[in-house]
Chain A
Amino acid sequence: MMCCLSKHPTYGGKIVSNSTKPVLNQTPLYEEHKKLGAKMIGFGGWNMPVFYSSILDEHQAVRQRVGIFDISHMGQIEVSGPAAKRYLNAVLTNNVERLDITHGQYTLMLNEQGGVIDDLIIYRRHDNDYFLVVNAAKIEEDFAWMRSRLTGEVSLLDRSAFFAALAVQGPRSPDLLLQFGDLPARNQMQELRILGIPVLVARTGYTGEDGFELFYPAAAGGMVWNRLLELGGALGANPCGLGARDTLRMEVCYPLNGADLSPDRTPLEAGLGLFVDLQKPEFVGRGPLLKQKESGLKQRLVALKADGKSPPLRAHYGVFVGDKRVGELTSGTQSPSIGIGIGLGYLDVSFAHPGQKVEIDVRGRRFDATVEKKPLYKKRC
């Protein structure tokens, strides 16, 4: 018991206790999580809540009402200066030229081989000021990579320690935040005040629901968190952990870096071509991507759904068509919304199309599944 069979638990890591030196970082909300009785796990070098009461309940809170997540582990990098746009266009895949002031854009940072270092959202705050939100485990690597590529009049600042961050997600999230002022439109960012504290509010998220991501001074961590939970009470708000964050993002097929994205996979293989502008004259990884586009992909990241009752799907389970191993899952769970095993995985391209019947190996037993169109879960309108 208590032994993880999945070799790559999606938010795995050892729980740290009685350790003589802290091996995990704590967010500004650590004490609040403890007060709420959260179960904590290590994720990306941080000690984070995996759930407060139940992943299933927290998942439903976001799908039906509103959930509030601590995402302070994520990193913030500020890039500014007259040459910022040009510089960013050379280190990121999407086109920064297309970014209006206050808007945000999903983009990727690649290595020289076209593999994914990180996926992130870049916001344009002012004419020459950009705000990047990057994955927790990649803050140092991203920053070092960006620094090594600095050219022109650009300033680069790692602001991760300065910011606390929350995700406020779900159909009732606008009702909660409207109390503080006008809300930004989808993918945009604006500043609001909560308890007098300046808070950057972006209408973005990782759940497939309407929702917001908030960035504000770490020193005010608990104040804003508690105020939102207090006001959210009337809307049925729940504090939510990384467990629900993971099941929510899998249902809508958002990739997780480190699981579905890696330095060995290109954004084209991951189905993220929409966020790569190959028309740009130059950016890191462009050459290999062009070559890959020309020669054709070998594998593609697809969404899979079990045909019937099965154990929850997990990363690293093999995917078969007859006797042929055609790929492997990189993420998986049992979907709380549809009650069936779901996963993401790379399959050989000849099998990587919706409707393809496959079998998934779970501890030596085969379970029928089908390649599905993304997303796996759609809101009923």
Chain B
Amino acid sequence: MLVPDDLRYAETHEWIRREGGIATIGITDHAQAELTDIVYVELPQVGAALEAKKAAAVVESVKAASDIYSPVSGEVAEVNPELESNPALVNTDPYGSGWLFKVKLSSPEEVDSLKTAAEYSIQIGG
């Protein structure tokens, strides 16, 4: 399973990429492989206030609906518009075109408490 070094990870299998005050969030390769067959993604409203570790989106595979938790607090700055017509991008490119949403960080230090790639790799048994 792919676990890029330059990202941080939540125990609940989301990744986060911080660029200044904005963070991009998606689900990990491990998570998409566990789900497979993602057929629907429900994203938050742009402008919505998110709280760290609270449900922010829903990813649905053929089998089941899964909550996606925002690893950080802040305001939704952007959501991935491609996922409405092509939710399978989350399966095929989880760290790239399958990103879910961007957050304007209200507590940037929250990012530092997330797992490193090495720590997350251990969690998933890689």
Contact = CB atoms under 8 A, between A and B. Distances in A.
Interface of A: 1-6, 9-12, 39, 50-51, 53-56, 243, 247, 310-312, 314, 333-334, 336, 363
Interface string B21-40: 00000010001001011011
B40 A312 contact: yes
Contact of B39 (A6, A9, A312): A312
Interface in B13-55: 13-14, 27, 31, 34, 36-37, 39-40, 42
Nearest to B85: A309
A311 B12 CA distance: 22
Contacts of A39: 34, 36
A56 B87 CA distance: 14
Nearest to A39: B34
Given A6-B65, A56-B62, A314-B65, A1 B39 contact: no
B65 A54 contact: no
A55 B36 contact: yes
Contacts, number: 73
B64 A5 contact: yes
Contacts of B27: 1
28 contacts: A1-B14, A1-B67, A1-B68, A2-B31, A2-B66, A4-B64, A5-B66, A5-B67, A6-B64, A9-B63, A39-B34, A50-B63, A51-B36, A54-B37, A55-B37, A55-B61, A55-B62, A55-B63, A56-B37, A310-B40, A311-B40, A311-B42, A311-B58, A311-B65, A312-B40, A333-B62, A334-B60, A336-B62
A61 to B, nearest CB: 14
A56 B88 CA distance: 12
A10 B62 CA distance: 11
Contacts of A333: 62-63
Given A1-B12, A1-B66, A55-B62, 5 more contacts: A1-B67, A1-B69, A4-B66, A5-B58, A333-B63
Nearest to A243: B63
* Residue of B12, B37, B39, B68 ringed by the most chain A CB atoms within 10 A: B37
A4 B34 contact: no
A312 B66 contact: no
The 4 nearest A-B residue pairs measured at CB:
A5-B65, A1-B13, A55-B62, A1-B12
Contact of B40 (A9, A53, A54, A334): A334
A247 B62 contact: yes
- The contact size tier of chain B is 20 to 34
A336 B62 CA distance: 8
Q: Is the interface of A mostly helix, strand, loop or mixed?
A: loop
A2 B13 contact: yes
Contacts of A310: 40
A11 B63 CA distance: 8
A245 B109 CA distance: 47
B54 to A, nearest CB: 12
A361 B13 CA distance: 28
A279 to B, nearest CB: 42
B34 A2 contact: yes
A60 to B, nearest CB: 11
A162 B69 CA distance: 46
A334 B12 contact: no
A137 to B, nearest CB: 18
A310 B39 CA distance: 10
A4 B69 CA distance: 13
A12 B58 CA distance: 18
Nearest to B59: A1
B100 to A, nearest CB: 11
Contacts of B60: 311-312, 334
Contacts of B36: 39, 51, 53-55
A56 B40 CA distance: 14
Nearest to B10: A1
A331 to B, nearest CB: 12
Contacts of B31: 1-2
A12 B63 CA distance: 9
A3 B66 contact: yes
Nearest to B11: A1
B53 to A, nearest CB: 11
B125 to A, nearest CB: 10
Nearest to A311: B40
A285 to B, nearest CB: 33
Contacts of B65: 4-6, 311-312, 314
Contacts of B34: 2, 39
